[in-house]
């Protein structure tokens, strides 16, 4: 019976192609906008997350506030304290840095000078074009050794090996640093452009460039298998207790990605809701065409009743017709919305993430609209008096 009714629905649509197309327009546009908004939202959010993820989704960086650097707890003992008190931390890497001018004879370039411990290279899985990272002894003895980022090395030693040669840091010409390694080119993170940095031992940095024992930043690497967001939440809780919310700044790409996800999610849900309103308008179009259809087919309804169609059968026939219409509209809308999403993501250079959830949502909503707005015309048809309907011209 359902199949016959669907066939009848298509018959009716074929008979009035233009009218059908016009009345479907509302549903098609509504569904297309819902699908496009959710899909484009998903794709945008995914590409934002991808961009943030370059910063290392297993990293959290703590920046002590300027005042805290001199008086607070952010000294070298902080690393072991944090590891002891907060679960899920693999290593805590203290890091001081400042911008500086690097020279080799007449060649000069600007770079970040970064003071770190010798385990920094292993903790971040750095790879070397030449040599290696410096040793623990280099730090203990405050030796003047340096590891160059790949751009710095290219700039200063365009045609030759850098290891074994000397560079001058900052304005102090006399301080010569021995190059012990050169990094392979590596994607920058939010706080460090590796290619454009020079790494020197932490203690050497402290002796040469700052007077106090306080630390500029701590890079926290989360233990494998722990969730970065919950670890960063625990660190936040821990630090809020000790130094207060103003005492530090915490930066966590994973948390940021989650926030971006939430914001785009909320935003696209909001837009999709607005688009859903146009589905309701589309539903009124469906109701309209169904009422016209019932009026035009009054005689047919009379005939069907005369040969034994019960009210529920007639109601079912027109409900299925309304459902067929809205599902067709929903299907066309999904196709249109996907094409639109494809065009937009292509234009924005985002990767397309077709939102299948939005397909199901859109189809479900169209079905709901079909039943809701098809109900009244269908009930009207089912209640027609057989003889009046038969005598209708």
Q: Examine residue 307 and tell whether it contacts another protein (CB under 8 A).
A: yes
Q: Any residues with CB less than 8 A from the CB of 41 and at least 6 apart, and which?
A: 264, 265, 267, 268, 269, 271, 272, 355
- Give the C-alpha separation, 215 to 219, whole Å: 11
Are 318 and 377 spatial neighbours (Cβ–Cβ below 8 Å)?
Answer: yes
Site stretch for another protein (CB under 8 A), options 27-35, 80-88, 116-124, 300-308 = 300-308
- Residue 385: CB minimum distance to another protein, A: 8
For position 1 contacting another protein by CB under 8 A, the verdict is yes
In the 8-state DSSP scheme, what is residue 163?
Answer: T
Residue of 69, 304, 315, 353 interacting with another protein (CB under 8 A)? 304
- Please count the CA atoms within 13 angstroms of the CA of 189 that sit on its side-chain side: 18
Residue 247 contacts another protein per CB under 8 A: no
Binding mask 13-52 for another protein (x = CB under 8 A): --x-------------------------------------
Q: Give yes or no for a contact between 246 and 255, defined as CB atoms under 8 angstroms apart.
A: no
What pairing do the DSSP bridges indicate for beta strands 128-131 and 176-183?
A: antiparallel
Question: How many Cβ atoms from other residues are within 10 Å of residue 272's Cβ?
Answer: 20
Q: How far is the CB of 331 from another protein (least distance, A)?
A: 23
By CB under 8 A, is residue 309 in contact with another protein?
yes
Site string for another protein, 259-298 (x = CB under 8 A): ----------------------------------------
59, 219 in Cβ contact below 8 A? yes
Phi, psi (rounded to 5 degrees) for 187: -55, 140
Give the range of 8-16, 48-56, 143-151, 225-233 binding another protein by CB under 8 A: 8-16
- Minimum CB separation from another protein for residue 305, in Å? 7
Rule CB under 8 A: choose which of 108, 137, 306, 357 binds another protein.
306
Q: What are the residues binding another protein (CB under 8 A)?
A: 1, 4, 8, 11-12, 15, 299-300, 302-313, 386-387, 390
């Amino acid at each position: 019976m359902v199949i016959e009714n669907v066939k009848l629905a298509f018959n009716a649509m074929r008979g009035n192609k233009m009218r059908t197309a016009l009345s479907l327009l509302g549903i098609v546009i509504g569904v297309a906008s819902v699908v496009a908004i959710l899909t484009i939202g998903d794709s945008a959010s995914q590409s934002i997350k991808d961009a943030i993820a370059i910063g290392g989704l297993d990293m959290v960086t703590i920046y002590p506030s300027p005042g805290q650097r001199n008086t607070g707890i952010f000294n070298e003992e902080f690393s072991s304290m944090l590891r002891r008190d907060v679960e899920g931390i693999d290593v805590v890497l203290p890091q001081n840095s400042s911008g500086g001018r690097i020279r080799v004879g007449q060649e000069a370039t600007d770079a970040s000078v970064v003071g770190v411990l010798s385990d920094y290279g292993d903790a971040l899985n750095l790879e070397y074009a030449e040599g290696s990272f410096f040793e623990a002894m280099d730090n203990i003895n405050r030796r003047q050794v340096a590891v160059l980022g790949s751009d710095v090395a290219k700039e200063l030693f365009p045609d030759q090996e850098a290891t074994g040669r000397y560079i001058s840091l900052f304005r102090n010409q006399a301080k010569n640093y021995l190059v012990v390694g050169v990094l392979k080119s590596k994607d920058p993170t939010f706080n460090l452009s590796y290619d454009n940095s020079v790494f020197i031992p932490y203690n050497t940095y402290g002796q040469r460039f700052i007077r106090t024992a306080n630390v500029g930043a701590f890079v926290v690497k989360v233990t494998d298998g722990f969730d970065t967001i919950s670890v960063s939440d625990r660190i936040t809780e821990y630090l809020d207790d000790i130094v207060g919310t103003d005492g530090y700044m915490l930066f966590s790409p994973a948390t940021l990605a989650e926030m971006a996800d939430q914001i785009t999610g909320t935003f696209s849900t909001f837009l999709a809701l607005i688009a859903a309103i146009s589905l309701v308008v589309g539903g009124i179009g469906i109701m309209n065409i169904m009422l016209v259809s019932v009026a035009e087919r009054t005689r047919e309804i009379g005939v069907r009743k005369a040969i034994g169609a019960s009210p529920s059968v007639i109601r079912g026939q027109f409900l299925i017709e309304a459902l067929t219409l809205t599902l067709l509209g929903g299907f066309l809308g999904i196709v249109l919305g996907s094409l639109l999403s494809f065009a937009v993501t292509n234009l924005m250079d985002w990767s397309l993430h077709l939102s299948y959830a939005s397909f199901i949502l859109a189809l479900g909503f169209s079905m709901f609209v079909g039943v809701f707005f098809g109900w009244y015309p269908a009930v009207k048809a089912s209640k027609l008096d057989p003889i009046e309907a038969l005598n209708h011209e």
